[in-house]
Structure 1
């Protein structure tokens, strides 16, 4: 604590420390369904992306594991039953985090950590789709804050239905 001119101590905000210790692909699957079927002709891809986030404390002090799981499906716009490709990827970051108040840690893990990982995951998706025989898929930015708020609202609604007054 530091003293101000009146001799009173000022509270300093905690210093947040965050380091990405490692990041890796835990699981990756890509199926080129179009090539497997031997389909020919013109297709117009429609890509659907589902995002799931997970975070957990590791055994070491101040260490956390954050995972972004993507489920990507591409179908033909003209015929939604015609799947072009499927991709599933589980991308993980290991973080050392200190100085984040306990009541803010969950949000920090599911918002700030995925923001740091996402550019690397985007590159993986682009490379795999290109190497899989399709134009590189460049994912749009993901608003992790909005995802977090949606999940909090969903859980609150779920609890409200489970515990009616």
Structure 2
């Protein structure tokens, strides 16, 4: 029994995560096609850019994670803008038991994964209500986004050294 207790003690604290709240901080949808008053056949080309941000809140173990989406839809044939959707979606999380060195990737990978289904629904509803077929976002690879951002930051840090 002592070995079991020692094994359990070495496992460390249990990881705990709760979504305390989630909300739209800012949103803008512009139906450029309707404003121009043009019609005809449209072949949309949709570009989605994603930015992530996380910060500690003043309450212990609470973090705010922001997912910023910018979606541009253009007509392939005429290269005209059809619509632009900008969405800033926030999740407030209570997180305990995550080691300090793993907290940053946890906040920018796992937390956005938790709120993504809600973001997908909002984008679908807004594009539909804005006069277009509902846009169903593909899954976003938050791990790859995180890796790309780390690589970009490392390139920025090492670039001045190469010039010196």
- Please confirm whether the aligned pair reaches a TM-score higher than 0.5, indicating the same fold: yes
The match for 1:36 is: 35
Match of 2:144 among 123, 128, 146: 146
The match for 1:136 is: 134
The match for 1:84 is: 82
Aligned mates of 1:114, 1:156 — CA distance in 2: 23
The within-5 A match list for 1:1-165 is 3-4=2-3, 9-10=6-7, 11-80=10-79, 82-164=80-162
In angstroms, what is the RMSD of aligned CA positions?
Answer: 1.4
Show structure 1 runs of 4+ deviating over 6 A: none
Q: CA deviation at 1:157?
A: 1.1
- Larger helix proportion of the pair: 2
Aligned mates of 2:26, 2:146 — CA distance in 1: 23
Q: CA deviation at 1:158?
A: 1.1
Which secondary structure does the structure 1 equivalent of 2:67 belong to?
strand
Deviations 1:96-133 (A, max 9, x none): 00000001100000000000000000000000000000
Which secondary structure does the structure 2 equivalent of 1:111 belong to?
helix
**Count of residue pairs brought into register by the alignment:** 161
Aligned mates of 1:135, 1:57 — CA distance in 2: 38
Deviations 1:12-41 (A, max 9, x none): 133100000000000000000000000111
- Larger strand proportion of the pair: 1
Which secondary structure does the structure 2 equivalent of 1:88 belong to?
strand
The answer for unaligned runs of 5 or more in structure 2 is none
Aligned mates of 1:119, 1:162 — CA distance in 2: 40
The answer for unaligned runs of 5 or more in structure 1 is none
TM-score normalised over the length of structure 1: 0.94
